[in-house]
A = this chain, B = another copy of it.
Amino acid sequence: MLSSSINSALRGSSVIRAMFNEGREMAAKFGAENVYDFSLGNPVTPAPEKIGTEIKRVIDSYDSLTIHGYMANAGYIEVRDKIADNLNRRFDTKFSGKNIVMSVGAAGGMNAIMKSIIDPDDEILVIKPYFGEYRGYVTNFGGKIVECESFKDSFQPDLADIESKINKRTKGIIINTPNNPTGVIYTDETLKALSALLLKKEKELGTDIYLISDEPYRELVYDGVKENFLTGFYHNTFVVYSFSKSLSLPGERIGYVVIPDEMESAGEVQGGVEIAIRMLGYVNAPSLMQRVVAECVDEKTDVAFYDENRKMLLDALTEYGFSCVKPQGAFYLWVKSPVEDEEEFVNAAKKYHILFVKGSAFGCGGFVRIAYCVSHETIKNSLPGFKELASDFGLLK
């Protein structure tokens, strides 16, 4: 009845869905304020006020067909120009609107790229741990996910392992920095070395290998770390962006793809991505929100809010004896499970009404992801439970 790919996805997804349902049942039973749900990467800081005023301004300024009508599949050129200008100001790039394709969020952009570059049995490299949804984006088009290692202390990619996994069928590598689920930011050193490796392999194999940089957390960085932007490192780079986290607009499905002129046959690739957007039924990024984000590119959500959560949780968990890499971006803490099978740890936490996600959902067992995009109160009130948990596992000194 259902396709085999959807059947297996249904089976695979049941664990996370079960956790979601468990959280709701817990909330019903113990009161929402007594359940500490760290399982979802859902922004909690409000969208900048300008979003609302801009939506109303657009409604009052244009006729309805201009606001809600069709445009080119790549989006309004004036919107794309404004995004290009914003990137140029911040990252010393030289884009024009023609380098930008508006997309239905980052997920829509990722799918359009995968559709554009993957033939059946082509391989896409990912670095463990990685956002589990990448699996679908690649297998949708008959591609294969190839998992590469990262170092278990820094979670920077293991370049030797990546090199060993590149072959004639390698179409690209997805990177995600700041990273979901670790919160780690790849260093300039890492990015330069990765770029050099890809370039060497392209020459050796005579193929194009795309670096696909998924950057929804680009602006969520702490400790004064500079925001990364990937096209300066390597010619065949796609940048995929979403306004979901930076402007707290996840439900609106608005983002973009950057295709730099330096990419091999950039014009043709761009044409391919635009057709993929149509074939996959996105058709175009939502029209009203295109105009709105174009006027809000310089806005930011309240990054300091997440930073406060980060410090509070990191300090407490470290004090209790948990070990984790210090995250410098995104809103996730990647904690080493005190027992090898992290599902045991996940289940033990439920006793204290604490919910977080097992690392194997990100291709990397033995760890858990704690999403700290919650209220300050949720964090504060969860700490006694975390302390008990540490004690249960013999971590507390």
Binding site for B on A (CB under 8 A): 1-7, 9-10, 13, 40, 42-44, 46-47, 51-52, 55-56, 59, 63-65, 67-71, 104-105, 107-111, 115-119, 122, 133, 136-137, 140-142, 208, 248-253, 264-265, 268-269, 271-272, 275-276, 278-289
> In the complex, are the beta carbons of A136 and B44 less than 8 A apart?
no
> In the complex, are the beta carbons of B272 and A68 less than 8 A apart?
no
Query: Which residue of chain B has its CB nearest to the CB of A51?
Result: B64
Given contacts A141-B3, A264-B1, contact A52 B59 (CB under 8 A): yes
Q: Which residues of B contact A119 (CB under 8 A)?
A: 3-5
> In the complex, are the beta carbons of B1 and A269 less than 8 A apart?
yes
10 pairs across A/B with beta carbons < 8 Å? A43-B65, A47-B68, A51-B68, A68-B250, A70-B250, A136-B278, A251-B288, A252-B287, A253-B284, A288-B288
Q: Which residues of B contact A7 (CB under 8 A)?
A: 272
Q: Which residues of B contact A70 (CB under 8 A)?
A: 40, 42, 250-251
Q: Which residues of B contact A265 (CB under 8 A)?
A: 1
> In the complex, are the beta carbons of A287 and B69 less than 8 A apart?
no
> In the complex, are the beta carbons of B115 and A1 less than 8 A apart?
no
Residue of B251, B268, B279 touching A69 (CB-CB under 8 A): B251
Q: Could you tell me the dominant secondary structure of chain A's interface residues?
A: helix
| Shortest Cβ distance from residue A112 to the other chain B in the assembled complex, whole angstroms | 8
> In the complex, are the beta carbons of A1 and B133 less than 8 A apart?
no
Most B CB contacts (10 A, CB to CB) among A2, A70, A278 go to A2
- Distance of A302 Cα from B6 Cα, bound (Å): 40
Residue of B64, B71, B275 touching A6 (CB-CB under 8 A): B275
> In the complex, are the beta carbons of B46 and A55 less than 8 A apart?
no
> In the complex, are the beta carbons of A6 and B46 less than 8 A apart?
no
> In the complex, are the beta carbons of B286 and A140 less than 8 A apart?
no
| Shortest Cβ distance from residue A204 to the other chain B in the assembled complex, whole angstroms | 17
Name 9 extra pairs, CB < 8 A, besides A2-B272, A3-B115, A104-B282: A3-B118, A6-B116, A46-B64, A47-B65, A68-B248, A133-B278, A136-B278, A137-B281, A280-B281
> In the complex, are the beta carbons of A286 and B283 less than 8 A apart?
no
- Distance of A336 Cα from B119 Cα, bound (Å): 39
| Shortest Cβ distance from residue A209 to the other chain B in the assembled complex, whole angstroms | 11
| Shortest Cβ distance from residue A75 to the other chain B in the assembled complex, whole angstroms | 10
Query: Which residue of chain B has its CB nearest to the CB of A210?
Result: B1
Residue of B68, B136, B271, B287 touching A279 (CB-CB under 8 A): B136
Query: Which residue of chain B has its CB nearest to the CB of A40?
Result: B70
> In the complex, are the beta carbons of B249 and A68 less than 8 A apart?
yes
Most B CB contacts (10 A, CB to CB) among A67, A69, A111 go to A69
- Distance of A70 Cα from B51 Cα, bound (Å): 16
Q: Which residues of B contact A285 (CB under 8 A)?
A: 253
| Shortest Cβ distance from residue A114 to the other chain B in the assembled complex, whole angstroms | 9
